[in-house]
A = this chain, B = another copy of it.
Amino acid sequence: MQKRRLAITAMGLLCAAPALHADEGMWTYDNFPSDAVRRQYGVNIDQPWLDRVRAATVRLSGCSASFVSGEGLILTNHHCIASCLADNSTKEKSLLDEGFVARTREQEIKCSTQVADVLVEMQNVSAAVEAATRGLDDRAANEARKRTLTELEQGCEKSSGLKCQGVTLYNGGQYFLYKYRRYTDVRLVFAPEAGIAAFGGDPDNFQFPRWCLDMGLLRAYENGKPVTVANPLKINFAGPKAGEFVLVSGHPGSTNRLLTVSQLQQLREVSLPPSLLRSNELRGRYIQFAKTSDAARRISEDPLTGLENGIKVRRKQLDALLDENLMSEKRRQEAELRARTARDRSLSSLGDPWADIEKANAIARNLDTEYGYLEGGAGFNSRLFRYARSLVRGVAERDKPNAERLREYTDQSLPRLRQQLAAPAPVYPELERLTLSFSLERMREWLGPDDPTVRSLLAKDSPDSLSTALVDGSTLGDPKARLALWDGGAAAIAASNDPMIKLALQVDARSRALRKRYEDEVEAPTAVAEEKIARARFKLYGTAVYPDATFTLRLNYGTVQGWVEKGSPIEPFTTLGRAYERATGQAPFRIPDSWMQARSKLDMATPFNLSSNNDIVGGNSGSAMLNARGEVVGLMFDGNIHSISGAYWFDTVKNRSIAVHPAIMREALAKVYGADHLLGELSGR
């Protein structure tokens, strides 16, 4: 480790920027440190390389992916297509359990809510945003900023025909328009069984060594035909060597490395504990429900898996925030930045933005519970309710001028909203009752039985009886009913007798008022203060730092390597044979039948998963691991347990990412799934 840290010092970074380590960083494509990479690794990541890889990198809903064939084939993780698999399952037959192979194009199944975006252009609009907010007070500036971004997006979409998204980088240090080519017809091509895609299940999640074939294949269509991709990424099935230089191109979701100490404390003390407690109870309810029948197990598998992943992430985030080492380092960095800011006369107009954030946090502390249950939806955990709220609000908002609407209902968002309303995803009343009853019960606990909303809902009902009435009485599980309300507009909403629509209407005024207070009293002063801190940071450190992850395209680099755990080295590769030895025959350590049958044909020495020190977080799932030539040598799907603290800092010693090795993909497609047609397409044959 020492050697690489010195290399960075030689680059003159350490003397200016806060302790930035080699191989750390989620770099935007316009600010990738190619010089540093060339100096350190002798690898040339030039503009053509960047353009080619960018054009083949895909963003899915919450995940990353890559084009890997000229005919629109998209490689991503199995867990990134889980909701498509669940949406195409029934109580009787689960594609998660059974896997899926399309033998022909005709067999490829529509993923009704999936979109695939490819970043085409990044436009810096910081000047326009700054001009629009200059001289305004916090609230006015907050609104002007949102309005300006909405208007820029709208203008961009009109003129370019692309999907345009306002992007905030460096917590307000830069504003960009990111322009995407969006594909809305995305189909399912291949998925292994969850039993091998997530072998080891929740116990092994965020662990390594590991044996997960966490892969899936989609295909993008346009006008009913597969999309033609000029320069797809090529898979190098040999994979990388230990120590090899590798890059990851994808969309890390969210990090909080630039937060102030008081913001971290707020997460530790106000946000994370209640959300974890709630999620753990819901986990218990799902698990107990799943035991009642096979059908119950099947329909709760997808939400339970997602929930358990979220629990593990937030639990380890809380651990990180409770670790005095991290907090004292954060305090030190902040004290240094504050001291340097105070000494710099050109920054004297900034005032004390750290104190401003503390003030906003104090207000958030008082609003948080109410906001979370009513506006955040923690009190109404139900797909039907979410449809109802989208309909009630969307219909009301779309009649307003575009720039005055709630952000999620601008013209740029409405096509996606309509796609979701129209999607024929199954809604299971048993699960709806479970989640809604649970959330109403917790809302009563946390807001108290005498809260006006709680009192009005539960004056003569229990959470169970109310949920049953709402779920059984609602027709919003039917896409036709949803579209009828959407297309019928305000009159249809007003005339509706659907109890979920009525509930959404009933709680709307209070929820909106809470949101307005939150935006004005918490979000606005925080955004202004963060902008000021970003200005100070830019002035003092320049762009030698990278922005926090915001689910926008990033590129990072590192090497294939393990780490040392409690004194023992963890090797960076696993092989197939050990998976069979580790199997217990019982989920989640049960190897699927297809693999048991193919066992004798398989090469037990095939590399399975590998680890590297690339700096990735959730959202990077499905990203390609690339070698210096830009070939796919791995498929990122997880990090080790230490990677979770990556939300707040990059631990060079222990933070490792985990990928599927391409050799096991080939072995599986060829010998387990008999999918030579896909292997041929992936191999460019």
* A interface residues, Cβ below 8 angstroms from B: 200, 202-204, 207, 268-269, 273, 276-278, 280-289, 291-292, 311, 315, 318, 322, 434, 438, 441, 444-445, 448-449, 458-462, 464-465, 582, 584-587, 589
Q: Is the CB of B585 within 8 A of A460?
A: yes
14 residue pairs A–B, Cβ–Cβ below 8 Å: A202-B445, A203-B445, A268-B322, A277-B311, A278-B280, A280-B284, A283-B284, A284-B288, A284-B438, A287-B438, A288-B289, A449-B589, A461-B584, A465-B586
Q: Is the CB of B460 within 8 A of A586?
A: yes
Q: How far is the CB of A281 from chain B (nearest CB, A)?
A: 4
Report chain B residues within 8 Å CB of A284.
280-288, 438
Which residue of B273, B278, B281 contacts A318 across the interface (Cβ within 8 Å)?
Answer: B273
Q: Is the CB of B460 within 8 A of A291?
A: no
**C-alpha spacing A445/B460, complex, angstroms:** 41
**C-alpha spacing A359/B269, complex, angstroms:** 26
Shortest beta-carbon contacts, A-B, top 8: A284-B284, A288-B288, A462-B586, A281-B284, A284-B285, A280-B280, A269-B322, A285-B288
Q: How far is the CB of A105 from chain B (nearest CB, A)?
A: 40
**A276 — nearest CB in chain B belongs to which residue?**
B277
**A312 — nearest CB in chain B belongs to which residue?**
B445
Report chain B residues within 8 Å CB of A586.
458, 460-462, 465
**C-alpha spacing A441/B586, complex, angstroms:** 13
Q: Is the interface of A mostly helix, strand, loop or mixed?
A: helix
Q: Is the CB of A291 within 8 A of B464?
A: yes
Report chain B residues within 8 Å CB of A448.
203, 207
Which residue of B280, B285, B286 contacts A277 across the interface (Cβ within 8 Å)?
Answer: B280
**C-alpha spacing A485/B318, complex, angstroms:** 46
**A268 — nearest CB in chain B belongs to which residue?**
B322
Report chain B residues within 8 Å CB of A269.
322
**A288 — nearest CB in chain B belongs to which residue?**
B288
**C-alpha spacing A17/B276, complex, angstroms:** 40
Counting every copy of the chain, the complex holds 2
Q: How far is the CB of A6 from chain B (nearest CB, A)?
A: 31
Q: How far is the CB of A651 from chain B (nearest CB, A)?
A: 18
**C-alpha spacing A36/B606, complex, angstroms:** 80
Q: Is the CB of A288 within 8 A of B460?
A: no
**C-alpha spacing A469/B256, complex, angstroms:** 47
Beyond A276-B277, A285-B287, A459-B584, 8 additional contacts (C-beta under 8 Å) are A273-B322, A280-B284, A281-B281, A284-B284, A285-B288, A460-B585, A462-B587, A465-B586
**A283 — nearest CB in chain B belongs to which residue?**
B281
**C-alpha spacing A237/B359, complex, angstroms:** 51
**C-alpha spacing A285/B283, complex, angstroms:** 8
Assuming the contacts A280-B284, A288-B434, asked whether A200 and B449 have C-beta atoms less than 8 A apart, the reply is yes
**C-alpha spacing A464/B588, complex, angstroms:** 12
Q: How far is the CB of A306 from chain B (nearest CB, A)?
A: 16
**A274 — nearest CB in chain B belongs to which residue?**
B315
Q: Is the CB of A204 within 8 A of B449?
A: yes
Interface centre among A285, A438, A461 (most CB of B within 10 A): A285
**A449 — nearest CB in chain B belongs to which residue?**
B203
Report chain B residues within 8 Å CB of A311.
277
Q: How far is the CB of A312 from chain B (nearest CB, A)?
A: 9
Report chain B residues within 8 Å CB of A459.
584
Q: How far is the CB of A359 from chain B (nearest CB, A)?
A: 15
Q: How far is the CB of A71 from chain B (nearest CB, A)?
A: 40
**A278 — nearest CB in chain B belongs to which residue?**
B280
**C-alpha spacing A461/B585, complex, angstroms:** 7
Report chain B residues within 8 Å CB of A286.
284
Which residue of B292, B315, B464 contacts A292 across the interface (Cβ within 8 Å)?
Answer: B292
Q: How far is the CB of A129 from chain B (nearest CB, A)?
A: 35
**C-alpha spacing A444/B584, complex, angstroms:** 13
Q: How far is the CB of A385 from chain B (nearest CB, A)?
A: 20
Q: How far is the CB of A663 from chain B (nearest CB, A)?
A: 24
**A461 — nearest CB in chain B belongs to which residue?**
B586
**C-alpha spacing A589/B287, complex, angstroms:** 28
Report chain B residues within 8 Å CB of A449.
200, 203-204, 582, 589
Report chain B residues within 8 Å CB of A445.
202-203
Report chain B residues within 8 Å CB of A203.
444-445, 448-449
**C-alpha spacing A439/B217, complex, angstroms:** 37
Q: How far is the CB of A244 from chain B (nearest CB, A)?
A: 28
Interface centre among A203, A444, A448 (most CB of B within 10 A): A203
**A209 — nearest CB in chain B belongs to which residue?**
B450
**A641 — nearest CB in chain B belongs to which residue?**
B448
**C-alpha spacing A74/B448, complex, angstroms:** 34
Report chain B residues within 8 Å CB of A582.
449
Interface centre among A281, A438, A584 (most CB of B within 10 A): A281
Q: How far is the CB of A455 from chain B (nearest CB, A)?
A: 9
**C-alpha spacing A347/B202, complex, angstroms:** 53
Q: How far is the CB of A473 from chain B (nearest CB, A)?
A: 18
Which residue of B204, B268, B444, B584 contacts A460 across the interface (Cβ within 8 Å)?
Answer: B584
**C-alpha spacing A629/B438, complex, angstroms:** 49
Report chain B residues within 8 Å CB of A434.
288
**A458 — nearest CB in chain B belongs to which residue?**
B584
**C-alpha spacing A585/B458, complex, angstroms:** 10
**C-alpha spacing A207/B202, complex, angstroms:** 37
**C-alpha spacing A459/B586, complex, angstroms:** 9
**C-alpha spacing A269/B68, complex, angstroms:** 46
**C-alpha spacing A203/B462, complex, angstroms:** 12
**A587 — nearest CB in chain B belongs to which residue?**
B462
Report chain B residues within 8 Å CB of A276.
273, 277
Which residue of B200, B280, B289 contacts A281 across the interface (Cβ within 8 Å)?
Answer: B280
**C-alpha spacing A460/B278, complex, angstroms:** 32
**C-alpha spacing A292/B296, complex, angstroms:** 13
